[in-house]
Structure 1
């Protein structure tokens, strides 16, 4: 086998190699240009109204609660009222004198009768409100034992969609500041809410229709922030709804629903 003699790399040959590599690199970059996408950064607020009352207990929870109450009753000391009943029973067989007569005037049975009469006059509020009966979905006084999410009607292209309040970030704003401003711009300044953090909890990206892309942006990147409703109202003139998890499933666009349900805690139904 013949071997070629080794050749030394001279400075002139090294320069030639470098020129060749630069030409190859420029050709590879010019032949396959990479499109630079331009995105609108959008902050959205998932505003939740937490349950106002507890859910009805299941049969298992009811029986467990009754067992706990029985254990607590058996291990508890006698109350002042029970001691009063025992004292009244002892006085029943004793001769009546001036001191005893004063004591018997207010017996434990009298207290029980008064409490019973007061209890019978008390009416518990219904768990079903007028908003539930009339299916008024823009009222906060509905589904009191469920978590509700605020949606507003917004136009996207030629469609009207139900979405959380949102807005495009302005120059110089943080995403959290943009979320707070977007909520005020959408729902007014009467709402008092509590944000759970400075970082978004979810993310969704979509492309604009071709006609809108000519305006400068190719699509939007939506960053969702989670917040808790504390007080205030949304203007009635704004088309909005407070919906539970089941209702969200029926009204949200499937892609947005899939995104939101990755971080919204599901409601347990009895």
Structure 2
């Protein structure tokens, strides 16, 4: 629609009809988004978070809803064109918590204090490497064809001035 509007504008044609169509399409999208939002709120009971607790359902995704979490997903690197998840190889015998803290200290400025809460991650996702990378890693005899992305509780404290 926008391309068609631009072409008509360059040719000196009337673009008011196209403007009306674009405006209507945006209103329709907003109405769809609002309907979806209301559906999710009612389905997952997001309007009353007090009803959700670990005690009533130990498998709920709301286990730590009231805790502050620092979610670290990905960062951009100037030498690498796409985004990636920060990672660090676990040393044999080193606790997972220490490995996570070292990974964070490599990518977060030292003046931002971060503390991992607990020794076990909340969750993890196993991610297989692309086939070409798997072949390279197998030829290097590392035997690694996948990695685990783990999510842990963390606490970031502000330094008092």
Does TM-score exceed 0.5, indicating one fold? no
**TM-score bracket for this pair, using the shorter chain length:** 0.3 to 0.5
Structure of higher RCO (CA pairs closer than 8 Å, 6+ residues apart) = 1
- TM-score with structure 1 setting the length: 0.27
